[in-house]
Amino acid sequence: MAYRLGFLLCDHLLEHLSGEFDDYPEMFATAFAEVSNAIDWQVYDLREGEVPYHIDECDGYLISGSRHGVYDSLPWIPLLEAVISEIARSEKPLVGLCFGHQILGQTLGGTVEKVPQGWGIGIHEYQVDVDQSWMHPRRTPFVIPACHQDQVVVLPAGAQRIAHNDHCENFVIRYGERMLGIQGHPEFSREFISRLVEWRKDRMDEALYKCAQASLERMHDNQIVKYWITSFLGIPSTLPMTGNR
């Protein structure tokens, strides 16, 4: 029986990339199909006011990234926070990526801000601080794409840092037993993150842009991190590892 995954969609593809890449629901489905063919995606477009009628509609939930900030005055952000609070009171697992990680932190009592070190963008390395049972295959450090200037700077009570690097202190955070936040984007292909680096070029100084460009040559661990996410959510990993980096 397929795992019913509630995909809490917080954005759509940037308009100028829409003819080149799939929109986020299709991008995520394609990316996670590399590790499991047992996922039944249930998409809820938060920006259109779509939410689960009942939390038990799905076996677990995944929150997407977004171009918006969690502190923006947008009507759907309090709606998402209400859904997160309801999931937190349930037994359902939840994973948030990038914006999804940040909204978890904010909803549960932490603080999210733009950081003075600026953009974390490109394909970068992160160190595991606390090994977890769901982190199979093992990989430390691990390497995945990132694209953010906001970070969770103050953790909510009971949260635990799992991974970091010098730019992002709270890159992977476990919020209690059933909620996980990852600041990176294991769903992004090398081609897609490369286009985002070019799109953000005018918002970065030359040194940061060159660093981001150079990082695109790195081999990444997207597949491994997707295995971690499916393991945390309780999704059967039905497909074998196709390669390491």
Q: Over the stretch 220-242, which tens digit does the pLDDT of each residue have?
A: 999 999 999 999 999 987 666 66
Q: Which residues contact 199 (CB under 8 A, 6 or more apart)?
A: 14, 16, 17
How many residues comprise the chain? 245
Give me the pLDDT at residue 239, please.
Answer: 66
DSSP assignment of 169-187 equals TTSEEEETTTEEEESS-TT
* Rounded CA separation 243/245 (Å): 6
* Rounded CA separation 24/10 (Å): 9
Complete domains list, the chain, with CATH: 3-233 (3.40.50.880)
* Rounded CA separation 97/7 (Å): 11
Measuring CA to CA, how many Å separate 31 from each of 9, 58, 93, 116?
Answer: 15, 20, 20, 32
Query: pTM (2 decimals)?
Result: 0.95
* pLDDT tens track for 20-74: 999 999 999 999 999 999 999 999 999 999 999 999 999 999 999 999 999 999 9
DSSP character for 34? T
